[in-house]
Amino acid sequence: MAYIINDSCINCGACIEECPTEAITAGAEKPDIDADKCIDCGACAGVCPVDAPVED
Ligand code: SF4
Ligand code: SF4
């Protein structure tokens, strides 16, 4: 399991610094989550203003 970022993302970047495993990297439309690094902690979802990170 890993989190993914859905299309409601406004690319604010807040989740990138929040991730404890540096699984999230910046992208042109929205950040990308490396499923191999994601530990399902939910920190990205907690900081996101639009609830874009969801469990895959
Ligand atoms: Fe990073 Fe946790 Fe979000 Fe996974 S759930 S991308 S480990 S902040
Ligand atoms: Fe997108 Fe939410 Fe991350 Fe901001 S915090 S970049 S809106 S997923």
HEC string of the chain equals CCEEECCCCCCCCHHHHHCCCCCEECCCCCCEECCCCCCCCCHHHHHCCCCCEEEC
First to last CA, the chain: 6
pTM above 0.75, yes or no: yes
Q: How confident is the model at residue 14 (pLDDT cuts 50, 70, 90)?
A: very high
Q: Which two tokens stand for residue 31?
A: 């950040």
pLDDT (0 to 100) of residue 1: 85
Q: What are the pocket residues of ligand 1 if the criterion is a CB atom closer than 6 Å to any ligand atom?
A: 3, 18-19, 21, 23-24, 33, 38-44, 53
Of 39, 32, 49, 52, residue with least CA distance to 2:
39
What are the tens digits of pLDDT across the range 19-55? 999 999 999 999 999 999 999 999 999 999 999 999 9
Nearest ligand to the CA atom of 29: 2
Residue 33: Cβ within 10 Å count: 22
Domains identified in the chain and CATH numbers:
3-55 (3.30.70.20)
